[in-house]
Amino acid sequence: MMASIIFTAKDIFDQDFKKEVRGFSKVEVNEFLDDVIKDYETYAALVKELKEENARLREELAKKTSQATPSPSVPESAPKHEFPQVTTTTNFDILKRLNRLEKEVFGKQVVDRDF
């Protein structure tokens, strides 16, 4: 289940708070909320951009998949290589993999940098 967004940038901008005798500095709160609104708008733009890119890439993949034909040079009896489906990969995972590949390629020349 995906979390939903509660506030829009306009909701944050229009929010009023009750005033108390020992309340926060209105100027500081407003400046902070202005920055929150900017970040919020940036996140909304990034999400929109990524959704559009995701849709475009899915379309490209669907076109390539539908256009793909079996290669005549590879016999049906040839072993098929299955690649694991990539899920979330972190920078740490990438660094560990690079370290293993460097050791494989360069052997003892690479200083041991185990993670």
Residue 47: inside a domain, yes or no?
yes
Residue 90: inside a domain, yes or no?
no
Q: What is the pLDDT of residue 99?
A: 75
Residue 99: inside a domain, yes or no?
no
For residue 36, how far is the Cα from the chain centroid? 21
pTM for the whole thing?
0.44
102 exposure class (CB count in 10 Å sphere: 0-12, 13-18, 19+): middle
Q: What is the pLDDT of residue 115?
A: 46
Number of domains in the chain: 1
Q: What is the pLDDT of residue 55?
A: 94
Asked if residue 69 has pLDDT above 80, the reply is: no
Question: Containing domain of residue 33, as a range?
Answer: 9-68
Residue 27: inside a domain, yes or no?
yes
Asked if residue 78 has pLDDT above 70, the reply is: no
Residue 20: inside a domain, yes or no?
yes
Which residue did the predictor score with more confidence, 42 or 87?
42
* Greatest C-alpha distance within the chain: 82
Tokens for 38, please give them.
């900017």
Residue 91: inside a domain, yes or no?
no
Which tens digits make up the pLDDT trace of 90-112?
A: 777 777 777 777 777 766 554 55
Residue 73: inside a domain, yes or no?
no
Tokens for 27, please give them.
């100027």
**Among the listed residues 84, 85, 104, 86, the one whose alpha carbon sits nearest the alpha carbon of residue 94:** 86
Rounded CA-CA distance 66/79 in Å is: 23
Tokens for 36, please give them.
């929150």
Residue 86: inside a domain, yes or no?
no
Tokens for 19, please give them.
């005033």
Which tens digits make up the pLDDT trace of 18-55?
A: 877 888 888 888 888 888 888 888 888 899 999 999 99
